[in-house]
Amino acid sequence: MGKNSSIEWTHHTFNPWWGCTKVSPGCEHCYAETWAKRVGAKVWGATKKRRFFTENHWGEPLKWNAGAAEDGQRKRVFCASMADVFEARADLDPWRKKLWALIATTPWLDWLLLTKRPQNIAERIPWTREWPNNVWLGTTVEDQQRAMERLPVLLKFPAKYRFLSCEPLLGPIDLDPWTVRRPESLHQIDWVIAGGESGTNARAMLPGWARKLRDQCQDSGIPFHFKQWGHWAPVPAPKTERAPIRGFWDEVTDAQIFMEPKGKKVAGRQLDGATWDQVPVTS
Ligand code: SF4
């Protein structure tokens, strides 16, 4: 069973439902909301119903699991791209229960649960001290404020791997308090994914922000995955600043840099001439 997700860092994507409510600056241009609207699903916001799926949909991961077992190769499943698994709504509880049961019956799949609401996790998981081996737990941290708020909560849970999605990266993030540079917090974070925002209204991710994350990960032995520049890419300084090229002050490098809205495909995903595709080594 091959890869069915266009997201670089996962093999498959599974959505237990569609719909969500915005919670922080990273949600401003939520692609899932845009996509849902495009296909006529009115599922965004606290007052809107969520969209649920049939048994056919829920049967897909069973097929992925069988394929992975046959190949003897574990597969990663991102859950969820069109929702937040830990959104606090009672109507989602039965579907969460169904998801926990599915995770238990698919041991060849590593389930990557990513949330912007780590404060809701404790009340909604069926696991206490012993977490299943096939659950990775992640939170999105788009800037330092979200790192300070969400990371300490994430790190309370003994998931096999705990990861960060720094996408869309909206400012510099200092991971030092949670890396091996602080001996008391040895290897608390197991994986960092970083990327810029895509779409015509995207906010630029400055190179210094991405480099700082990469360097801190490298220094601490944390696998680093650079997903994309997004809509804006760094360019050499023009002789005179002119639209659409814009100048930004990069506080990490204390220098002016220039960015051009090239679009996600052209902007690519190389950082300083290298592709960063690291993932935790699984057994
Ligand atoms: S939490 Fe995720 S899915 Fe929900 S609105 Fe924010 S970006 Fe969109």
Q: Best substitution site from 17, 21, 24, 27 to test ligand 1's pocket, by max atoms within 8 Å of Cβ? A: 27
> What number of CA atoms fall less than 13 Å from residue 202's CA on the CB side?
26
- 73/63 Cα distance (integer angstroms): 14
- 64/10 Cα distance (integer angstroms): 13
70 has a pLDDT exceeding 70 = yes
Question: How much distance in Å is there from the Cα of 20 to the middle of ligand 1?
Answer: 6
Query: To 10 degrees, what angle do helices 55-71 and 93-104 make?
Result: 20
Average pLDDT over residues 177-183: 67
- Alpha carbon nearest to ligand 1 atom 7, residue: 27
Q: What is the predicted pLDDT for the residue at 1? A: 46
Q: What is the predicted pLDDT for the residue at 187? A: 54
CB atoms within 10 A of CB 170: 24
183 has a pLDDT exceeding 60 = no
pLDDT band at 283 (very low <50, low <70, confident <90, very high): low
CB atoms within 10 A of CB 85: 23
Least confident of 2-16, 42-56, 85-99, 203-217: 2-16
Question: How much distance in Å is there from the Cα of 243 to the middle of ligand 1?
Answer: 31
Least confident of 36-45, 130-139, 178-187, 216-225: 178-187
What does the CA dihedral 21, 52, 134, 213 come to, rounded to 10 degrees?
A: -30
Q: What is the pLDDT of residues 192-243, one digit of tens each?
A: 999 999 998 999 999 999 999 999 999 988 999 999 999 999 999 988 777 8
15 lines ligand 1 (CB under 6 A): no
Tell me, rounded to whole angstroms, the distance of Cα 58 from its chain centroid: 22
- Say if CB 20 and CB 51 are below 8 A apart: no
Question: Running DSSP on this structure, what letter comes out for residue 39?
Answer: T
Average pLDDT, the chain: 93
Q: What is the pLDDT of residues 238-265, one digit of tens each?
A: 887 778 999 999 999 899 999 999 999 9
- Alpha carbon nearest to ligand 1 atom 5, residue: 22
What are the residues facing 232 on neighbouring strands? 261
Task: List the strands of the sheet with 75-79, edge to edge.
Answer: 12-13, 75-79, 109-115, 135-140, 161-166, 191-195, 224-228
23 lines ligand 1 (CB under 6 A): yes
Of ligand 1's atoms, which has the minimum distance to the CA of residue 116? 1
Average pLDDT over residues 80-107: 98
- Alpha carbon nearest to ligand 1 atom 4, residue: 20
Average pLDDT over residues 159-165: 95
Question: How much distance in Å is there from the Cα of 140 to the middle of ligand 1?
Answer: 10
Question: How much distance in Å is there from the Cα of 87 to the middle of ligand 1?
Answer: 10
Residue whose structure tokens are 């997201």: 7
Q: What is the pLDDT of residues 8-36, one digit of tens each?
A: 889 999 999 999 999 999 999 999 999 99
Q: What is the predicted pLDDT for the residue at 282? A: 72
Question: How much distance in Å is there from the Cα of 276 to the middle of ligand 1?
Answer: 25
84 lines ligand 1 (CB under 6 A): yes
20 lines ligand 1 (CB under 6 A): yes
Average pLDDT over residues 148-176: 95
Encode 28-65: b = buried (16+ Cβ within 10 Å), e = exposed.
Answer: ebeebbeebeeeebebbeeeeebbbeeeeebebbeebb
27 lines ligand 1 (CB under 6 A): yes
